[in-house]
């Protein structure tokens, strides 16, 4: 007996969507069918807990995928709950209902929340038509004698006929399209199963033609095993195989969150930088599973981008996914999960900073620059990230925390001083440091490009202002034991040279003035409050986001022998050309010492040549 039925209108529309645009990869069809088979086995297992007649059926569950390369067919079988005629109509003839969806609803009504089920049966099944020109479903429901065969080409109708099947469960036969014959190959099928379904708890067997089938999935997710039963070598092996990493993880975080939201995390903090750490895409690389089924490794909502170096998996129990299982809905539970993951990672880092400072320093040198991205991307985490940050102390010659810097404040000090640049060697020789270190004031040396951005947005740490020592408004006089007398003659004495330098350099500088911070260097460059640092200007100019570079102020040291020599030449008309060259060289010197390329390399060389040959 055979009956012909038409798909409901929404099913016909869905088949068109599935076939052409719903899934980004055709291989997803196998993940969906295996997931449905796992659902069927789980449903039978749970029903057998309350129905004694099903207990004998609920044993030795397995899923088999078999390729017949001669007939161009792919067979997926399971010994799960199976379906009768009404189930076939509801599950495969409509989208409004689905067996798994109805079953979950019943469990929720009975407050049985432990069922390990996946998604909606009806929708995933239709992915078969991406690769098959005809699909046959042979099924028999557990506890019933009759079997049925469902057949469709996906063209708007399907048939259901009586059939024979010795055991309960479902067999799905896909008659593959010519352009889908790649899915008959063993290596292709094995790769798909291990990628998406490796940790489904039901054993999955793969057979090619008449060959004996072999189990290909791990079946027991390592993250479901009690931590006491997992060795460090087990974790490392999983890290290498699942995260495609080659180093030994620095930290392993294995935890389970229970309550309103249930999920398990197995996260790794690498001991070495991944090669793509600074890839412009800055993608989060955690793998998301839902009830042991792989969903995606591109779930940007799981972690903020400044934690993109974290590897591992998150397995959620009750996240909602859309019909394709590929794109997570805008689910507030996902945001809650993200908060939990961030808290777990930061608490681990805090403990390591406190208990294992040397190891933490190695971590910081690898990933500190990435972590500091969060200082301007997520203001709500600013305080936590600042406490986790390490900075190089010019005074102590080592990395310290901001809390340690504040604890070592000099008398009368209220601000946190810093200097940013391209590397430590350049910063240590920066003339702006001289006045601070001489007065016993520490300065934090910042060398990461990201420092130029967050330092302009983070104004303080625990009521202490963060101040760049290149700011023209920094006043060090309060730290002097003896103040210079007001109305000093020195200012009047140096004024002719300042006026000459201004007229010579013109628009190349914003201003020229006497310095209160220089000790052994003749000149330095500083920026006005609110202005960009020279390095940030460089970075933006290179990125073509800023042109031209903003002017800076040139400060001169009136006590330096070079400045005093120049002052004597101001009134000498015969030395004007040489004095002009020397003024430009002072600016070039200040730029070079600050790690800034001179504006005109050829003019710099010509001036230097004239002075060396006495032609100025």
Residues 6+ apart with CB under 8 A from 14: 95, 123, 126
The predicted-structure confidence for 311-329, as pLDDT tens digits, reads as follows 999 999 877 654 444 456 5
Q: What domain range is 127 assigned to?
A: 2-215
- Tokens standing for 188? 């292709």
- Tokens standing for 186? 């063993």
> Do 59 and 164 lie in a common domain?
yes
Burial of 591: CB neighbours in 10 Å, binned 0-12, 13-18, 19+ = buried
> Do 414 and 343 lie in a common domain?
no
Say which residue the tokens 């899915």 belong to. 183
Does the residue 114 lie in any domain? yes
> Do 168 and 202 lie in a common domain?
yes
SS3 63: strand
How large is the average pLDDT for residues 368-387? 94
Does the residue 23 lie in any domain? yes
Q: Which residue has the higher pLDDT, 308 or 599?
A: 308
Nearest to 331 by CA among 396, 261, 379: 261
Is residue 146 within 8 A of residue 164, CB to CB? The reply is: no
> Do 210 and 260 lie in a common domain?
no
Average pLDDT, the chain: 85
Is the per-residue pLDDT at 201 higher than 60? Answer: yes
Q: Domain of 246: which CATH number?
A: 3.30.230.80
Sheet with 511-514: strands ordered across: 511-514, 553-556, 523-526
Backbone angles phi, psi at 121, to 5 degrees: -60, -50
Question: What is the per-residue pLDDT for 278?
Answer: 87
Is residue 33 within 8 A of residue 40, CB to CB? The reply is: no
Question: What is the per-residue pLDDT for 111?
Answer: 44
Question: What is the per-residue pLDDT for 335?
Answer: 87
How large is the average pLDDT for residues 252-279? 92
Say which residue the tokens 């036969």 belong to. 173
Say which residue the tokens 């479903």 belong to. 137
Is residue 453 within 8 A of residue 376, CB to CB? The reply is: yes
How large is the average pLDDT for residues 466-493? 68
Examine the fold and report which residue of 157, 186, 215 is the final residue of a domain before the chain moves on: 215
Is the per-residue pLDDT at 518 higher than 80? Answer: yes
Say which residue the tokens 């469902």 belong to. 150
- DSSP state letter for 140: E
Is residue 221 within 8 A of residue 292, CB to CB? The reply is: yes
Is the per-residue pLDDT at 560 higher than 80? Answer: yes
Question: What is the per-residue pLDDT for 294?
Answer: 83
Burial of 2: CB neighbours in 10 Å, binned 0-12, 13-18, 19+ = exposed
Is the per-residue pLDDT at 179 higher than 90? Answer: yes
Is residue 141 within 8 A of residue 148, CB to CB? The reply is: no
> Do 465 and 577 lie in a common domain?
yes
Looking at 22-36, 50-64, 400-414, 417-431, which range is the least confident one?
22-36
Question: What is the per-residue pLDDT for 16?
Answer: 67
Does the residue 375 lie in any domain? no
Is the per-residue pLDDT at 119 higher than 50? Answer: no
Does the residue 366 lie in any domain? no
Q: Domain of 418: which CATH number?
A: 1.20.120.790
What is the share, in percent, of the chain residues with pLDDT greater than 90? 48
Residues 6+ apart with CB under 8 A from 542: none
Maximal C-alpha separation, the chain:
118
How large is the average pLDDT for residues 508-518? 88
Question: What is the per-residue pLDDT for 244?
Answer: 82
Q: Specify the DSSP element, H or E, that contains 350.
A: helix 332-355
> Do 288 and 159 lie in a common domain?
no
Question: What is the per-residue pLDDT for 233?
Answer: 92
Is the per-residue pLDDT at 232 higher than 90? Answer: yes
Cβ atoms within 10 Å of 146's Cβ, excluding its own: 12
CA distances for 207 relative to 10, 63, 69, 366, angstroms: 36, 11, 11, 46
How large is the average pLDDT for residues 535-564? 72
> Do 397 and 525 lie in a common domain?
yes
CA distances for 146 relative to 4, 75, 158, 160, 474, angstroms: 19, 21, 19, 13, 89
How many structural domains is the chain composed of? 3
Does the residue 382 lie in any domain? no
State how far the Cα of 190 lies from the Cα of 212, in Å rounded to an integer.
Answer: 15
pLDDT band at 543 (very low <50, low <70, confident <90, very high): low
Is residue 572 within 8 A of residue 582, CB to CB? The reply is: no
Does the residue 373 lie in any domain? no
Q: Which residue has the higher pLDDT, 95 or 320?
A: 320
> Do 534 and 563 lie in a common domain?
yes
> Do 425 and 519 lie in a common domain?
yes
State how far the Cα of 589 lies from the Cα of 596, in Å rounded to an integer.
Answer: 10
What does pTM read for this prediction? 0.75
> Do 191 and 144 lie in a common domain?
yes
- DSSP state letter for 49: T
Examine the fold and report which residue of 190, 215, 240 is the final residue of a domain before the chain moves on: 215
State how far the Cα of 599 lies from the Cα of 613, in Å rounded to an integer.
Answer: 23
Backbone angles phi, psi at 12, to 5 degrees: -60, -40
Q: Domain of 105: which CATH number?
A: 3.30.565.10
Is residue 130 within 8 A of residue 160, CB to CB? The reply is: no
Provide the pairing of β-strand 214-215 with 147-152.
unpaired
Is the per-residue pLDDT at 269 higher than 90? Answer: yes
Is the per-residue pLDDT at 100 higher than 50? Answer: no
pLDDT band at 20 (very low <50, low <70, confident <90, very high): low
Is the per-residue pLDDT at 533 higher than 80? Answer: no
**Helix residue ranges, H only, 148-246:** 186-196, 232-243
Backbone angles phi, psi at 145, to 5 degrees: -95, -30
- DSSP state letter for 199: T
> Do 523 and 401 lie in a common domain?
yes
State how far the Cα of 203 lies from the Cα of 214, in Å rounded to an integer.
Answer: 10
Residues 6+ apart with CB under 8 A from 18: 126, 127, 129, 130
Does the residue 139 lie in any domain? yes
Long-range contacts of the stretch 244-250 (C-beta < 8 A, 24+): 245/270, 245/274, 245/311, 247/271, 247/272, 249/311, 250/359, 250/362, 250/363
Question: What is the per-residue pLDDT for 17?
Answer: 65
Question: What is the per-residue pLDDT for 481?
Answer: 66
pLDDT band at 56 (very low <50, low <70, confident <90, very high): confident
Is residue 375 within 8 A of residue 458, CB to CB? The reply is: yes
Does the residue 349 lie in any domain? yes
CA distances for 215 relative to 64, 77, 190, 219, 220, angstroms: 9, 14, 10, 9, 12
Question: What is the per-residue pLDDT for 281?
Answer: 87
CA distances for 368 relative to 222, 239, 274, 372, angstroms: 30, 22, 14, 6
Examine the fold and report which residue of 148, 180, 215 is the final residue of a domain before the chain moves on: 215
> Do 236 and 200 lie in a common domain?
no
Residues 6+ apart with CB under 8 A from 610: 577, 578, 581, 616
Q: Which residue has the higher pLDDT, 553 or 123?
A: 553
State how far the Cα of 400 lies from the Cα of 467, in Å rounded to an integer.
Answer: 17
């Amino acid at each position: 007996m055979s009956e012909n039925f038409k798909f409901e209108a929404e099913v016909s529309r869905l088949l068109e969507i599935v076939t052409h645009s719903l899934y980004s990869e055709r291989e997803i069809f196998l993940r969906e069918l295996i997931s449905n088979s796992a659902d069927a086995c789980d449903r039978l297992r749970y029903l057998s807990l309350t129905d004694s007649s099903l207990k004998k059926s609920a044993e030795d569950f397995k899923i088999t995928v078999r390729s017949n390369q001669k007939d161009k067919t792919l067979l997926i079988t399971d010994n799960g709950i199976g379906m009768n005629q009404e189930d076939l109509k509801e599950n495969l003839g409509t989208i409004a209902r689905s067996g798994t969806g109805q079953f979950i609803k019943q469990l929720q009504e009975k407050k049985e929340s432990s069922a390990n089920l996946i998604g909606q049966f009806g929708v995933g099944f239709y992915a078969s038509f991406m690769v098959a020109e005809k699909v046959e479903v042979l099924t028999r429901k557990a506890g019933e004698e009759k079997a049925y065969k469902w057949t469709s080409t996906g063209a708007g109708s399907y048939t259901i006929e009586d059939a024979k099947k010795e055991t309960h469960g479902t067999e799905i036969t896909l008659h593959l399209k010519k352009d889908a014959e790649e899915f008959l190959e063993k290596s292709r099928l094995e790769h798909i199963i291990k990628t998406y379904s490796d940790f489904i708890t039901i054993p999955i067997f793969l057979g090619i033609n008449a060959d004996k089938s072999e189990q290909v999935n791990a079946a027991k997710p390592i993250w479901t095993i009690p931590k006491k039963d997992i060795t460090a070598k087990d974790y490392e092996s999983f890290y290498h195989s699942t995260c495609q990493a080659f180093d030994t993880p620095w930290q392993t975080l294995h935890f389970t969150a229970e309550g309103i939201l249930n999920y398990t995390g197995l996260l790794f903090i690498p001991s070495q930088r991944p090669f793509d750490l600074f890839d412009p895409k800055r993608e989060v690389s955690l793998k998301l599973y839902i009830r042991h089924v792989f969903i995606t490794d591109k779930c940007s909502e799981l972690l903020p981008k400044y934690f993109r170096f974290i590897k591992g998996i998150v397995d959620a129990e009750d996240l909602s996914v859309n019909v394709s299982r590929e794109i997570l809905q805008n689910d507030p539970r996902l945001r809650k999960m993200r908060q939990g993951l961030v808290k777990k990672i930061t608490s681990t880092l805090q403990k390591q900073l406190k208990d294992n400072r040397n190891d933490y320093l190695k971590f910081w040198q690898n990933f500190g620059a990435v972590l500091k991205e969060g200082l301007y991307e997520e203001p709500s985490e600013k305080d936590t990230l600042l406490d986790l940050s390490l900075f190089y102390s010019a005074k102590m010659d080592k990395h310290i925390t901001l809390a340690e810097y504040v604890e070592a404040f000099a008398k009368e000090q209220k601000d946190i001083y810093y200097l940013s640049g391209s590397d430590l060697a350049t910063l240590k020789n920066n003339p702006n440091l001289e006045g601070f270190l001489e007065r016993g004031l520490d300065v934090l040396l910042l060398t990461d490009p990201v420092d130029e951005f967050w330092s302009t947005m983070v104004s303080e740490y625990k009521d202490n202002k963060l101040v760049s020592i290149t700011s023209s408004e920094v006043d060090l006089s309060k730290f002097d034991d003896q103040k210079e007398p007001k109305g000093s003659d020195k200012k009047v004495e140096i004024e002719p040279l300042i006026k000459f330098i201004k007229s010579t350099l013109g628009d190349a500088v914003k201003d020229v003035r006497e310095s209160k911070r220089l000790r052994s260097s003749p000149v330095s460059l500083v920026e006005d409050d609110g202005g960009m640092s020279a390095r940030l200007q460089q970075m933006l100019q290179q990125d073509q986001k800023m042109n031209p570079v903003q002017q800076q102020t040139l400060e001169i040291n009136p006590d330096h022998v070079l400045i005093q020599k120049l002052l004597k030449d101001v009134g000498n008309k015969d030395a004007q050309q040489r004095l002009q060259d020397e003024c430009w060289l002072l600016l070039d010197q200040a730029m070079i010492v600050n790690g800034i390329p001179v504006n005109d390399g050829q003019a710099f060389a010509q001036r230097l040549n004239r002075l060396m040959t006495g032609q100025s």
